[in-house]
Structure 1
Amino acid sequence: MTINSSVNKVSLTALPPLALYIHFPWCEKKCPYCDFNSHQVKDGATGFDEERYINALIADLETELPRIWGRQVHSIFIGGGTPSLLSAKGMDTLLSAIRARIQLEPGAEITMEANPGSVETEKFAGFAKAGINRVSLGIQSFQDIQLKALGRIHNGEEAKKAIAIALQHFQSVNLDLMYGLPMQSLEDAKKDIETALSFKTPHLSLYNLTLEPNTYFASFPPKLPSEDDVDAIFEKNLDLLTKAGYKRYEVSAYAKPGMECKHNLNYWRFGDYIGIGAGAHGKISFPDKITRQVRERHPETYMQSMETKGNALVESKEIPTADLPFEFMLNTLRLTDGVNTNTFTERTGLPLNVISKSLDEATKKGLLDSNPTLLKGTAQGLRYLNNLQEIFLG
């Protein structure tokens, strides 16, 4: 797909919603399937110093203020790693500093990721008091044999206890589950979903285990269920979740009505987000351009850069006009309801006709809904999402 950049300049009539992502790069143990930027706390080379890292985060946010001046932040997501390793006092210090520096929407969704192994009743009460109102628990499975195969530090009973504690303290709780696990049968997967549903949390995320590059599993792959077995597990899971009143609103996300994750919806609708912390990515729009930033990946290098240079950027650039259609479609095609076609121009600043040939091709292949007012994948398009997204690759 070729775009004549001299003709199609970015021209945004309004800026998209703005969110804040904060990366916490430490965890108790690196899981063999994980390709996120995370470092084991017990590894002395990573230097986990809570006060020092929080100071770096606050300084990092301050460098972004001139770029987002006057804009309101609609959601905050603290991801990792395992952010629940922070103390409640540290979380309060961080969120108080953020509120003092940005315009935060009243009642904004503030999510923190947590692992069952790091859950304590008193600590969760402190997080809630600090302002966390949504928690995402990395359950993955309730069965000890699968948890051990995944290298998790918790067991099934600890997972259940963590959910019960979270439900006492937070307005919304999400459970992260995985399927297609080593030694997992259809019945195993069914039990995991049924156990999750028994807690009646308003949101569930369900991911198919994939072997990502630069992970332990990539080098030493476990024996996984066949593709047919994985498909059968997915279909059974979808049926159970639908019957329980959850809607699949994104490829891997299911929610009760009105309980979708606002922060992630902003990503998928090609909204803006400030990204602070080690390895964090950010996207900020202006009337005539859309920019991306990337921070130093290693936590020690990140903190040193903030302390000595006043910023930790390794990349800060304007997104080339030719790349915007693919970046937009890469995100929005994950949504099961799609988006209105007008959203393309609203968020990229480009006319829809720059992707007309790709839209026709995707529709003819049965991957894109034929409704001219929607950009929405068909059931086949969601099943073969990579094929659909690649059609829009420049």
Structure 2
Amino acid sequence: MTNDTFMSAKEAATALEITLPTLYAYVSRGLIRSEPGAGKSRVRLYARADVEALLARKALRQNPAQAAETALYFGTPVLASAVTLIEDGRFFYRGHDVIELAQATGFESVASLLWRDSLTADDLFPPEIPASLAQRMAEIQPILEPLPLFERFQVALPLLAGHDLAAFDLAETAVAQTGARLLHLLTWAATGERPQASLVASLQQAWAAHNQPIQKIFNIALILCADHELNVSAFTARVVASTQANPYAVVQAGLAALQGARHGGHTERVMAFLREAGSVAGVRPAVAARLRCGERIPSFGHPIYPNGDPRGQLLLDLVMGEFGGGTAVSIVQELIQVMAEATGQLPTIDLGLAALAEAAGLPEGAPLALFALGRTAGWLGQAIEQYKEDQLIRPRARYVGKRPE
């Protein structure tokens, strides 16, 4: 228990501007979690997150417009969801710890979990691909092959959507089946070959056949990328789903948001920085040059994880364990050490994806493509939830421009 997670009774009461008896009443009503502290005294401590949530509600009542506006920038929750929970430096898919899940479960099973709260995926994968859809995919292969990996996804989806009539059925079971087809088709686009076994096995064969042991790392990377609560692309996907657009359109929208440099496209900045450093000796000068210019080092520091991104830590541990001693891993290790000294910031999942690509010699653009494949499962989980809500997401703007005369 740390001060970042818990507060004393006096601190909590002061923050809320209430008396201690009122604080205890909040606890009894389940509004604030309380746990015994360490040591002999066992003085009870109070969850900081719950106190902050109550403060946010108070602000919302006092100034709804300002509170709603602030909520859009890593603020208070704005949508109810049962898909992903991020809490106390950990994250969960439908109640399952993702770090544990990723090391024990296949990606297809996790996709099923996100879509319908079941790890059983045998009835979804491998999916049945209608002959007309498979024929269309084969026809567009010559168009896709010269393109960067991520652009293949963006080009393929609109060319395929009209050949998958079942995708217009927005019932939960039908969307899960469409999701399985979409993951199959996107993997086909990424590898140039129709998947014959699992999606991960197909990626392994096409991208890193000489590194068979990293099939497990591919699987873990996809699971870690699958969802992350109401991030930019997930929110975009939900907005599009709220219009009753079909899953192909939902994924297209998610891809558009993901490619931005402040979201999944951040992996490209990380790759560029690693190549800029070039060697272990080049890391410190490269970091110093950026910091002197007031620039951030990409892939360090996550606002939701002040004590470190657990996704990045797991992925980096796996890459270092498999490729330790290689030049790419040595550069990444030096970068982590230099950043710890310079800023105290810890790496995010973006560095893990970049380290995997560099160490395993993956194709150009593989980090973002892996991110997109994994996150497709999450976008569709969010879409299914939004289809059930059957409500249009349509916030109002607070006009600050020139008033009409």
What TM-score do the two structures reach when normalised by structure 2? 0.23
| Higher relative helix content | 2
Greater relative contact order (Cα 8 A, min sep 6): structure 1 or 2? 1
The answer to which structure has the higher strand fraction is 1
